[in-house]
Amino acid sequence: MEMSFRWYGEYDPVTLEQIQQIPGMTGIVSVVYDIPAGEVWPLERIERLKQTIENQGLKLNVIESVPVHEEIKMGAASQDKWIENYKETLRNLSRAGIRTVCYNFMPVFDWTRSELDAVLPDGSNSLKYDEETVQYIDPLSGELMLPGWDLSYQIEDLRKIMDTYQFISEQQLMDNLIYFLEQVVPVAEEEDVLLAIHPDDPPWPIFGLPRVVTNKENVEYMLHRVDSPNNGITFCTGSYGADPENDLPGIIESAKGRIYFVHARNVKWTGPRSFQETSHSIKDGSLDLTAVLQKLHDVGFSGPIRPDHGRMIWGETGRPGYGLYDRALGAAYLNGIIDTLEEKSGE
């Protein structure tokens, strides 16, 4: 497996020099920032990002994410224009030598949490999702902005979009995803690009919006409907694992051969549809990452994996969930498990 690290570019307080010093680190997961969703990514911007990373002796092995325009998700009359732009971005990524693209199909809001710095028993801070708290959040009030939210919308524009989604069922949203994939996957095949959809985070509806990448049944349906080796998934332990009903090794088995990227993080279930992120250790969280990595190894996964959201420890401040220290510890923890699995199998 290719141990990788998320880097937010030149404005990230975590530097490439620091990332390079994490044992076993080879890959960088990043994105071309400041290009509006739906617009074509210029080849020269992609190549500039790639060169910056390679100059530090690392490899840009995953683009996360190429945003899907909201009108594609809604199946609007204008969706084909945005899909054509998406195709051209895939072509430019291929020209730059990028082979793995992570994306999501979450309506309006990306990953959502109710608290940014909830205290854990060890005194560190982490991201938390509490269903009861979220029930009282009005995203249209403009008073609260949470990580993962697209802040480019004005309140009235956001209101119109959310009103439109009230008439879009989960099946319609899935149909819109399938239509999108039917259009872009042939280009991915031509360009040798692997598309890896990220699950909804959390894996259930929020704010009355439908969500459709939440469980094994969704994954099987999507992979079967667009049955191409270039149509695959990002397996995120924390997203799927937030729902205790999700059998993580079972999802891996269903998607074997079509998993192209892995996010590894742990969460502690704190109540119905509620959880807090923890260290990667199985002693701290509710997820058995050793069993997950064993299953990934058994099905032959050898692609990029990154330590996902971490705690804020040792007084570190910065982007919630994306401090250096705990993610570096997470990478070391994951590498230890992976090294043991490979040694046992004689690799």
Q: Under a CB-based contact definition with an 8 Å cutoff, are residues 263 and 119 in contact?
A: no
Separation of alpha carbons 290 and 270, rounded Å: 21
Packing angle, helices 216-225 and 170-191, rounded to 10: 50
Q: What phi and psi, each to the nearest 5 degrees, are found at residue 6?
A: -75, 130
Residue whose structure tokens are 């995120």: 236
Of the chain, the percentage scoring pLDDT greater than 90 comes to 86
Separation of alpha carbons 216 and 130, rounded Å: 24
Mean pLDDT of 230-242: 98
3-state secondary structure (DSSP) of residue 141 = coil
**Mean of all residue pLDDT scores within the chain:** 94
Domains along the chain with CATH numbers: 2-344 (3.20.20.150)
Q: pLDDT by residue (tens digit) across 89-111?
A: 999 999 999 999 999 999 988 88
Q: Which positions ≥6 away from 124 have C-beta within 8 Å?
A: 311, 312, 313, 326
Of the candidates 208, 220, 206, which has an alpha carbon nearest to the alpha carbon of residue 256?
A: 220
Residue 42 confidence (pLDDT): 97
Separation of alpha carbons 53 and 110, rounded Å: 26
Q: Does position 143 have pLDDT exceeding 80, yes or no?
A: no
Q: Which of 40-54, 157-171, 178-192 has the lowest mean pLDDT?
A: 157-171
pTM for the whole structure: 0.96
Q: pLDDT by residue (tens digit) across 147-161?
A: 556 556 667 888 889
Separation of alpha carbons 307 and 4, rounded Å: 8
Separation of alpha carbons 51 and 282, rounded Å: 37
Separation of alpha carbons 306 and 261, rounded Å: 8
Q: How sure is the predictor about 141, in pLDDT bands with cuts at 50, 70 and 90?
A: confident
Residue 155 confidence (pLDDT): 76
Q: Under a CB-based contact definition with an 8 Å cutoff, are residues 39 and 74 in contact?
A: no
Of the candidates 69, 62, 51, 56, which has an alpha carbon nearest to the alpha carbon of residue 28?
A: 62
Q: Which residues are catalytic?
A: 198, 236, 263, 308-309, 322
